[in-house]
Structure 1
Amino acid sequence: MKKQASSLRRAAQALRGSSGFTLIEVMIVVAIIAILASIAVPSYNDYVRRGQLPEAFNRLSDYRSKMEQYYQDNRNYGTAANKCASDPTAASWNTFTASDHFSFSCVASGATFQSYTITATGSGGPVTGHVYTINEAGLRKTTKFKNATVDQNCWLTKSATC
């Protein structure tokens, strides 16, 4: 009987020695994970945002090219107030349809519609709060970047300066 009790005591002591993690150890691990996440998540969101911006830049450049072709044919950028490429021959592309992350608009201006401005406005996800423009002279502007009003003569991607 003594031998059996002694075996049980040894078994109990062995179990107590390998009881798992302490609360402090778990809290340290959670704190380290929280610190890493606080760095990684904003960086990832910025990476996703920068990946969606070329969609606007490509479409703005494409629309500008089409507007110049339209000008070659019609000697103006539109015939109605605030409407670009208003000739029926441009009906296949002049709707300036929205893409996955941006909406597009075009405004013809001037007395004889000799100028225009095409605007891309972020419409969803991380690019909400971004507004880019291009005009007949090829001037690229950023008027809103990460929900902040800016006035830069370039298309911003990473920071609020060119």
Structure 2
Amino acid sequence: MKRPNQYGFSLIEMMIVVAIIGLLASIAVPGYQDYVKTGNAAEAPANLANCRVQAEQFFQDNFTYVGFVCNPSDAKFFDYSVDSQTATTYTLKAAGKSTQNMGNFAFSVNQDNAKTSTYDGTAGASCWLTSSSGSC
């Protein structure tokens, strides 16, 4: 007996395709999330560098750092603060917002340009980290 021509895919073929797509997605999604975090983390060093310039301008005008505030207008992923403020010292800090999935990020700089950072849980003692591998 002759079988009629069959068209389409069998269930086994469809399940193999779904498994392959799932495997590719499990590899690609974490890489994409790291890529997004890297882009979001770039906000803090840029804004802290800008605030540091503004702090020095404030000091030139007032001969003190007391009263200076760091309030970047484009802050989306970090909260900014000025700590340890005296007439001659300050520490600018950027803390990642956990609501933006940046809770494991923190950057700081002081009047002597001493930088520290925590990049997705990895600590950097003397620089602003640009990746979780610990490189500056």
Q: TM-score band (shorter)?
A: 0.7 to 0.9
Residues 1-150 of structure 1: matches in 2 within 5 Å? 13-14=3-4, 17-78=5-66, 84-85=67-68, 94=69, 96=71, 99-109=75-85, 113-123=87-97, 124-142=99-117, 144-146=118-120, 148=121, 150=123
1:152 aligns with 2:125: yes
Kindly report the root-mean-square deviation, in angstroms, between the aligned alpha carbons of the 2 structures: 2.2
Change in 2 beyond 3 A, CA 1:43/1:149: closer
Letter matched to residue 81 of structure 2: S
State the Cα deviation string for residues 115-145 of structure 1 (Å, max 9, x = none): 1110011114242320000110112210x32
Larger helix proportion of the pair: 1
State the Cα deviation string for residues 80-126 of structure 1 (Å, max 9, x = none): xxxx52xxxxxxxx2525711111000134xx532111001111424
Letter matched to residue 82 of structure 2: C
Deviation (angstroms), 1:149: 5.9
TM-score, structure 2 as length reference: 0.84
Contact 2:122/2:134 (<8 A) preserved: no
Letter matched to residue 78 of structure 2: F
Question: SS of the counterpart of 1:77?
Answer: coil
Letter matched to residue 108 of structure 1: S
Alignment gaps of 5+ in structure 1: 1-8, 79-83, 86-93
Higher mean C-alpha displacement, 56-65 vs 94-103: 94-103
What is the aligned-residue identity percentage?
36
For 1:50 and 1:37, locate their aligned partners in 2 and report how far apart those are by CA, in whole Å. Answer: 20
Contact 1:108/1:114 (<8 A) preserved: no
Aligned residues: 133
Letter matched to residue 127 of structure 2: C
TM-score, structure 1 as length reference: 0.72
Greater Rg over alpha carbons, structure: 1
